[in-house]
Homo-oligomer: A and B are copies of this chain.
């Protein structure tokens, strides 16, 4: 196999979720049947690499000539409710749900008792700066549901509540459109704990 082909397969298989076989299939497709897609990919990657940066306010991906990003600059969105997420992809998912009226803040790192305290303190201080600057009244935690995220949630609660800020977290429970029989014990336990009275 030519070295340039091997290199392409190696690079493709470094993409998330792509094994060796899929990378081979992609490389052959690009070279044998889809030279136009090969060229298009080069252009798209170069353009994204040059034009996309992290929003200096929220940490979401944004165009280099639109920093702060469109969400941060949207005057129709309230700055009083701040959704704190772990990563930029989470913002995309919440936006697709379409009902969040506030703004975002991306932690860009874990706030965890297991990690170096200086890192944690720096992350929290940055968040506090944002909260003060915007006069945030409610922090809604849009965190994952693993143990580390639970630790992050309780740590942020401990820091923010004494400042008079309301701290909420996305509800745990059964996912929509899924059968009760398919849910795992942990999800069910949390759904029971959060049960609500039927009106």
A residues near B (Cβ < 8 Å) are 1-5, 7-8, 10-12, 14-17, 22, 24-32, 34-35, 37-52, 54, 61-63, 66, 87-89, 92
Contact = CB atoms under 8 A, between A and B. Distances in A.
A51 to B, nearest CB: 4
B22 A26 contact: no
A16 B194 CA distance: 42
Copies in the complex: 2
A45 to B, nearest CB: 5
A66 B32 contact: no
Contact of A8 (B11, B17, B28, B48): B48
A1 B32 CA distance: 32
Contacts of A92: 1, 24, 28
A49 B11 CA distance: 14
Contact of A47 (B8, B26, B30, B63): B8
22 contacts: A1-B61, A2-B52, A2-B62, A4-B47, A5-B61, A7-B47, A8-B44, A10-B44, A11-B43, A11-B45, A16-B25, A16-B26, A17-B26, A28-B61, A28-B92, A32-B54, A35-B49, A38-B45, A38-B49, A42-B45, A42-B46, A42-B49
B32 A41 contact: no
Nearest to A40: B11
Contacts of A24: 89, 92
Given A7-B44, A25-B89, A63-B3, A39 B32 contact: no
A87 B44 contact: no
Contact of A89 (B14, B15, B17, B28): B28
Residue in A24, A45, A92 whose Cβ sees the most chain B Cβ within 10 Å: A45
Residue in A22, A28, A32, A54 whose Cβ sees the most chain B Cβ within 10 Å: A32
Given A31-B61, A32-B61, 9 more contacts: A2-B62, A3-B63, A4-B47, A5-B48, A8-B47, A24-B89, A41-B41, A41-B45, A42-B42
